[in-house]
A and B are shown apart, each in its own frame.
Chain A
Amino acid sequence: MNKVSYAQLTARNAPQLKGKLEEAIVGIAGCGGLGSNIAIALARIGIGKLILVDFDVVEPTNLNRQQYFLSDIGKRKVDALEEKLRMINPFLQIEKRCEKLNAANVKIIFKDAHIIVEAFDKVSEKAMLVKVFSGNVFKEKYLVTASGLAGFGNPNSIKTKKLAKNIFVCGDNKTDFLAEGVMAPRVMIAAGHQANKVVELVNKIF
């Protein structure tokens, strides 16, 4: 493998981010369509550390939107994603957790994260993570959640909005996967919004 420096990897980044991205710790709650795309985007720009959490394995039905290959089928998502991230950015620190997040363990697993990205499928899990932020435990952290990325059409309906001082939501807030399905194009747009908000927050925090 060719040897590269961190400076080379990040040479085309926005100049004002120099010295900031490598300090950031970002938690990725779910390594599916949103989470795998967000993790790859953040690895490419030189984020310091990712905490990857997902209890699932790669299945054939994931490949229409998630950043996995045929050869990944049957692997734990956190392992398959780690392989790809290491091929992109050898300087990235990765912590993997192959477990289901709940209101109790999320506070432990993400205790060191500056920013947490919600990348779950289910409404109940999304709601759980948002509600964790209602207490004092995470008042110094930021949450970037997603709502509405299903189906196809109108990419410009996907927006980033501020829900609270430290909580942002990306999506069209309308489309639901049970009725409309989920596919790479709109999932990647929403993931791009989430990754971009993470960068904005990193620029603000550090």
Chain B
Amino acid sequence: MKIFFEYLGLLHIEDVKNKSIIEVTANCTAAELMTNLQIRKEHQKFISVFVNGEEKSRNVILKENDKVKLFLPTGGG
């Protein structure tokens, strides 16, 4: 299935264009998406997941055409 995928902050994902439509397996969770994208475990624990404008847990099951945003803040304040 296809989702619209965006990432912000410190995240840099090889071979995946930001703000693009990507193919994921059916019933894929956000956690599985992060693992499949080879996002480092130490980063995953600080990533917030947003689906269709709402913050969700990493166990949320993604659906066709969902707008998925991953946010890993950069430090400094």
Contacts and interface: CB of A to CB of B under 8 A. Distances in A.
Interface string A150-193: 10000000000101110101010111111000100001000000
B76 A164 contact: no
A13 to B, nearest CB: 27
A134 B69 CA distance: 13
Contacts of A182: 76-77
Interface in A186-203: 187
B46 A124 contact: yes
B75 A130 contact: no
Nearest to A33: B77
Contacts of A145: 73
Contact of B76 (A121, A127, A134, A165): A121
B interface residue count range (under 10 / 10 to 19 / 20 to 34 / 35 or more): 20 to 34
Contacts of A127: 45-48, 72-73
A91 interface: no
B47 A123 contact: no
A147 B73 contact: yes
Interface stretch (B19-27, B32-40, B51-59): B51-59
A12 interface: no
A119 interface: yes
A127 B73 CA distance: 7
Contact of B75 (A35, A121, A161): A121
Contacts of B48: 127, 130-131, 134, 163
19 contacts: A30-B77, A33-B76, A120-B77, A123-B73, A126-B75, A130-B71, A134-B49, A134-B56, A134-B57, A146-B76, A149-B77, A163-B50, A163-B69, A169-B8, A169-B73, A171-B74, A176-B74, A177-B76, A182-B76
